[in-house]
Amino acid sequence: MNSIAVKMLTGDRAKYLGLIFAIAFSTFLLENQSSIFAGIMKRTTSQIIDVTDADIWVMDRQTQYADEVKALTENDLYRVRGVPGVEWAVRLYKGSARATAPDGKFRQVILMGLDDATLAGSPQKMVLGSARDLEEPDAVIIDLAGYKFFFPNEPVRLGKTFELNDHRATIVGIADASAPFTTFPVMFTRYNQALDYVGRERNQLSFVLVKARPGVAPDTLRRRIESTTGLQAKTGDEFAWQTVGYYMQNTGIPVNFGITILIALIVGSVVAGQTFYIFTSENLKQFGALKAIGVTNGRLSGMILLQALMVAVIGFSIGTGLCAVFFEIFRNKMQTRGLVLLWQSVAGTGVAIFAVVMIASILSLRRVLVLEPSVVFRG
């Protein structure tokens, strides 16, 4: 009976291929857009994620996300250091500057100023050089994508120079940093060097990075810092989610991606469901003939569910394969680096697709179960 069900399904090539195409197209869009959306949201937290040696970020109480901060004072740093349970607390500058290459090419860069003594927050994945090389005069580390922007089609090497605010900057390291929300290059340097690159103001301390003493829970220390200093303190994960939440609530990104995902789901549901329902209706005489020779309703139900499962598996597999190829093609490009096909997107899409196809098959099944075998003898 299973072979008969397959022959009935593939007998009408147009409807069979239409079912598979609708499911594959819906699968591709759902996985593609949900993965890109998650990747873009992760990009908003890239500078937070890359800081792995601090437990807590301390900032002005009104700070909402990582890219818009109000400077702290040096006195704030000393107050944080005085909180019981703090092993160390150091400066971190995060801002922007304009870097100009020797050939005149310039671009805005994300500038990270690390504590001069400890270099806390330095990149962990180095392609060339070492974070300790920042101790040299005028030293900067640039991310690999930024290097390729300024020096395309050139071998990756150290020693190239930039001009930032009439100051010389020499590349002493190249890092594999996480892709930022914008496509700006990311540069790392010492805190005091960063202040020279951006021009000094009275207060330019963006964040205080804090390490908890052994045995002190970061969440406990975070609350202690807030109650003692009146500043806002977040663990890295909390600050990352707060930043994501800001972009979710205050930008059009979720709406735009949500519309595309909803359209993909509607297209997959309506086209696949309607096509499968029509396919079952057009084969009522064949199902009636099977009933007339003694095939039970349970067996007929199994045949229809087999047909539904078959088109769902084939369509879902094709759609997922196309999506994987898409991300493989674009994963190394500067604008789309860091965007990958998430297994959560694949799993969620799989559940949605199979649910849609199963619902469509159940609606079709009702007509078969109430079908009278005598229908086969009607003209």
pLDDT in tens, 266-311: 776 777 777 777 777 777 667 767 766 776 777 777 777 887 888 8
110 bridge partner residues: 96, 186
Structure tokens at 182: 């914008």
pLDDT of residue 201: 61
- What proportion of the chain, given as a percentage, has pLDDT over 90? 37
pLDDT of residue 183: 79
**Arithmetic mean of pLDDT, 230-236:** 93
Nearest by Cα to 143 from 10, 320, 310, 334: 334
Structure tokens at 110: 């994300």
What is the pTM assigned to this prediction?
Answer: 0.78
Strand 232-235 versus strand 167-175 pairing type? unpaired
- Distance set, CA 379 to CA 275, 368, 374, 375, 376 (Å): 25, 19, 11, 9, 8
pLDDT of residue 113: 93
Residues whose CB falls within 8 Å of the CB of residue 280, separated by 6 or more in sequence, listed in order:
287, 304, 361, 364, 365, 367, 368
CA triplet 79, 80, 81: central angle to 5 degrees?
90
**Arithmetic mean of pLDDT, 161-184:** 89
Binning pLDDT at 50, 70 and 90, where does residue 334 land?
low
* pLDDT over 70 (residue 202): no
pLDDT of residue 86: 94
**Arithmetic mean of pLDDT, 61-90:** 91
Provide the 8-state DSSP code for 181.
S
pLDDT of residue 7: 72
* pLDDT over 70 (residue 377): no
* pLDDT over 80 (residue 232): yes
CB 160 within 8 A of CB 151: yes
**Arithmetic mean of pLDDT, 210-221:** 93
* pLDDT over 60 (residue 352): yes
* pLDDT over 70 (residue 200): no
Which amino acid is located at 26 in the chain?
Answer: S
CB 227 within 8 A of CB 173: no
Binning pLDDT at 50, 70 and 90, where does residue 69 land?
confident
CA triplet 337, 341, 347: central angle to 5 degrees?
160
| Torsional class of 232: left (φ above 0), alpha (ψ -120 to 50), beta (otherwise) | beta
Provide the 8-state DSSP code for 133.
G
Nearest by Cα to 113 from 9, 196, 227: 196
pLDDT of residue 70: 87
* pLDDT over 70 (residue 353): yes
Return the HEC string of 76-99: HHHHHHCCCCEEEEEEEEEEEEEE
DSSP-based three-state secondary structure for 227 = helix
* pLDDT over 60 (residue 378): no
Report d(CA 290, CA 303) in Å as an integer: 11
pLDDT of residue 8: 67
Binning pLDDT at 50, 70 and 90, where does residue 374 land?
low
Q: Flag the least confident range among 147-161, 174-188, 352-366.
A: 352-366
